[in-house]
Chain A
């Protein structure tokens, strides 16, 4: 596989949406340990909106994938304007902006899109790696993907490197203390608990790669 086509994108969006819906209870439980316990509710609302968007909007060969992703981000934000929902919507919209006009996605463009999602979430959430957020999984994943592409690896090899990096990043964040957002008020009690955002990032990448 060397490029991602329109139909791949549409199916991937639905898989990610379905996975987000399925994560409702798990994320609520993880969030209850450090926040107000509603991350799973908003993520499942956002996931349902993505799946519905994918079902309702055809994406044919030749269509603008960037615009499609940006619109999917808007649909997610409308359904879930919570912190996590807004961060995910930002990621989709920045990826869409990066891919504007493209009707298929090659490895180089995908690397730029992942980097745009990473930057977008860091800017929007005012978080950096090490703050114990979704960024701790997403940032190493984006870097690993770009490095693999740079080395000349093919799309599926780069994708595996991306997922491994996300998993390691998520594990590395678990012993940390939350530094931003509502969880930071809980402070040291978050140490040793998995971050719901980082877990969500790993799950989304797994759904993308059908893992």
Chain B
């Protein structure tokens, strides 16, 4: 293992300490616990509050989207581990502005159990909580209900966050989150594994000329391991898999995200984007916005994911609404 570290045990607290110091104008924390990240101006009175949470190791997911126009709070766990229910509850208490709280997070067992528990405890304190699970990873299961949540969750943070910023009710914000996620699909591919600091060794191995299609962002196996292909073929394969699951055709408008997993340079991501853009243009699909960069990573894993977000007028307006967080700025 070769990482910039002190004691691996302090990886998460030291990361959080640095992050809070770097972005003190935008972020703070609740309950004297660095793992309970909230907007510096929380609670925003009269606004529906949005919270997420999950393990560390995926920046900017999850806490990177806490800020104006997106999320109000985030509970942060150890690397690839769920935060605890009472950390989620602390975040919930601190961000509640009187109009309810919406949890939006990825479909992982530990996170689901802890958020459910936090919601029960919040209900006992008369805070109304709703939950929307992100399940955008098309290849993780044939059953849409069992899919994992990956980079596509950023679009749910963005649109639901915009709706809340515009004064929407809890019902309306929840509906936007569900509608957004019904229109979002992601597929990923990896070139190298990641290393969890406390484990100290890679989570799997890949040969020099191999790639893993459809892997998870915690080192879970994918759908196939195969010979490394040129970028255009990788882009076509990911786009085809997504559009087989969510048909996109002539006249449709979409947002596209090409997301780097942590160790792939932006140059390579743009090569992938180029092919996706041309294929969509060839089908007379209009790209309303393109997001190329790191939005949901897996430590130093090399590789990328492709997310498509099918838009209508309402979702387009919400996607275009301004937002500002330490990792996401849109004017």
Contact = CB atoms under 8 A, between A and B. Distances in A.
Interface of A: 74, 77-79, 81-83, 86-87, 89-90, 93, 124-125, 181-182
24 contacts: A74-B85, A74-B86, A77-B114, A78-B86, A78-B87, A79-B84, A81-B77, A81-B81, A81-B82, A81-B84, A81-B85, A82-B82, A83-B109, A83-B110, A83-B113, A86-B110, A86-B114, A86-B117, A87-B113, A89-B117, A90-B113, A93-B117, A125-B113, A181-B109
Contacts of B85: 74, 77, 81, 86, 89
What are the 10 closest A-B residue pairs judged by CB atoms, nearest first?
Answer: A81-B84, A86-B113, A78-B84, A81-B82, A77-B84, A77-B85, A74-B86, A124-B113, A83-B110, A81-B114
Nearest to B124: A97
B116 interface: yes
A210 to B, nearest CB: 30
Contacts of B81: 81-82
Contacts of A83: 109-110, 113
B83 interface: yes
B116 A81 contact: no
Most buried by A among B85, B109, B113: B113
Contacts of A86: 82, 85, 110, 113-114, 117
A87 B114 CA distance: 9
Nearest to A182: B109
Contacts of B82: 81-82, 86
A181 B113 CA distance: 12
Contacts of B86: 74, 77-78
Contact of A82 (B110, B116, B117): B110
Contacts of A74: 85-86
Interface string B306-327: 0000000000000000000000
Contacts of B77: 81
Contacts of A79: 84
A95 to B, nearest CB: 14
Contacts of A182: 109
Contacts of A125: 113
Contacts of B84: 77-79, 81
Contacts of A124: 113, 116-117
A23 B54 CA distance: 27
Interface in B92-123: 109-110, 113-114, 116-117
Given A82-B82, A86-B85, A77 B117 contact: yes
Contacts of A81: 77, 81-85, 87, 110, 114
A33 to B, nearest CB: 18
A93 B124 CA distance: 13
A181 B114 CA distance: 15
Interface in B183-197: none
A86 B85 CA distance: 8
B179 to A, nearest CB: 26
A79 B78 CA distance: 11
B117 A90 contact: yes
Interface in B241-284: none
Nearest to A97: B124
Contacts of A89: 85, 117
Interface string B37-65: 00000000000000000000000000000
A181 B108 CA distance: 10
A53 to B, nearest CB: 13
